[in-house]
């Protein structure tokens, strides 16, 4: 990673995901913090990340972070569990000191885990995630630090992201896979009382998930949690808050076709968007 020339002018907050899923986080962040400017970047051309190796997820995520820094962002949110699980720590510890130590990259796993203790009554926690997130055991590790007595059961859902990315989240294919994966998770432990949707694409399947999940199980979606955690972070870090510009705007970039992204993205954020294409 080369050192690049970066400006320190107030600039938008960068929000990154492998594809559309991060829009579920951005939407909630903008509800809680509407006054800031945002740049969303979706690496749709290379999604899904969830079945890729550590090295590739790290490499792609670093390219995206670097791009957002070059656009002026001082703060970047990895609105992607896979990138948070596989790339965040290395970027924070290895790359930021080389690129610019005053910039920050934050993920979505830690804020989500902080909520689990407040929600679960019996300490049996289910995690749905991409194969990469489940295999990283990031949730197990973080939960065991905060709630050592809790038991964590992970289940990878490799078909859920492709269903969302291919506009099939309301179709019968989604019913089939969601039902099957819920059964697979609950067959590990019938006492699970809380399930984390540990992938930012999954809230787009929440209607199907609620249809097949027993009503007694609490489903944790990350958007609101990450938004509140970001609000708290900015409050605790006024030096960073001052570097985030306030104009209430949001720009969208995708590594795939801009028109396709705009059409689909508009549905997710409930407003018309005009994305631009970018090459990383
Ligand atoms: N939305 C991402 C996540 O939260 C990853 C989806 C993917 O690209 O596999 O894990």
Q: Convert the pLDDT of each residue in 112-123 to its tens digit.
A: 999 999 999 999
Q: What is the DSSP letter of 38?
A: E
Find out whether 65 and 43 touch, Cβ atoms under 8 Å: no
- Tell me the sheet residues that pair with 78: 16
- Write down the pLDDT at residue 235: 98
Pocket test for ligand 1, best of 16, 18, 157, 220 (most atoms within 8 A of CB): 18
pLDDT band per the 50, 70, 90 thresholds, residue 5: low
Q: What is the DSSP letter of 10?
A: -
Cα 238 to middle of ligand 1, angstroms: 30
Residue 199 appears among annotated catalytic residues:
yes
Over residues 7-37, the pLDDT tens digits come to 778 999 999 999 999 999 999 999 999 999 9
Cα 48 to middle of ligand 1, angstroms: 6
Strands (E) located in the chain: 13-17, 38-42, 75-78, 104-106, 124-129, 151-156, 194-197, 218-220, 250-254, 276-277
Over residues 110-169, the pLDDT tens digits come to 999 999 999 999 999 999 999 999 999 999 999 999 999 999 999 999 999 999 888 899
Q: Round to whole Å and give the CA distance between 152 and 144.
A: 9
Ligand 1 atom at minimum distance from 19 CA: 8
- Residues whose CB is less than 8 angstroms from the CB of residue 194 and which lie 6 or more positions away in sequence, other chains included: 116, 119, 120, 124, 125, 126, 217, 218, 220
pLDDT for 96 beyond 70: yes
Ligand 1 atom at minimum distance from 80 CA: 4
Residue 80 appears among annotated catalytic residues:
yes
Cα 82 to middle of ligand 1, angstroms: 5
pTM surpassing 0.85?
yes
Cα 49 to middle of ligand 1, angstroms: 6
pLDDT for 243 beyond 70: yes
* Given the residues 73, 157, 199, 244, the one annotated as active site: 199
Among protein residues, the one with the nearest Cα to ligand 1's atom 9 is 50
Tell me how far CA of residue 147 lies from CA of 26, 85, 142, in angstroms: 28, 19, 9
């Amino acid at each position: 990673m080369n050192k690049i020339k970066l400006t320190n002018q107030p600039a938008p907050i960068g929000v990154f995901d492998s594809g559309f899923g991060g829009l579920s986080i951005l939407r909630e962040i903008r509800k809680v913090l509407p006054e800031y400017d945002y740049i969303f970047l979706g690496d749709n051309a290379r999604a899904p990340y969830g079945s890729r190796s550590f090295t590739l997820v790290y490499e792609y995520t670093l390219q995206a972070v670097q791009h957002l820094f070059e656009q002026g962002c001082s703060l970047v949110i990895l609105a992607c569990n896979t990138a948070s699980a596989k790339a965040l720590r290395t970027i924070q510890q290895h790359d930021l000191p080389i690129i610019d130590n005053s910039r920050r990259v934050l993920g979505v796993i830690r804020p989500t885990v902080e909520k689990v203790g407040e929600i679960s009554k019996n300490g049996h926690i289910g995690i749905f995630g991409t194969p990469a997130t489940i295999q990283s055991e990031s949730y197990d590790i973080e939960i065991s630090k905060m709630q050592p007595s809790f038991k964590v059961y992970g289940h990878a859902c490799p078909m859920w992201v492709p269903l969302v990315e291919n506009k099939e989240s309301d179709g019968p294919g989604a019913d089939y896979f969601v039902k099957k994966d819920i059964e697979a998770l609950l067959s590990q432990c019938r006492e699970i009382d809380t399930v984390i949707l540990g992938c930012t694409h999954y809230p787009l399947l929440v209607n199907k998930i609620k249809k097949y999940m027993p009503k007694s199980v609490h489903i944790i979606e990350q958007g609101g949690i990450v938004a509140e955690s970001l609000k708290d972070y900015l409050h605790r870090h006024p030096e960073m808050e001052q570097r985030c510009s306030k104009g209430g705007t949001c720009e969208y970039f995708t590594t795939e076709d801009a028109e396709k992204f705009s059409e689909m993205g508009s549905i997710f954020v409930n407003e018309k968007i005009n994305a631009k294409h970018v090459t990383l």
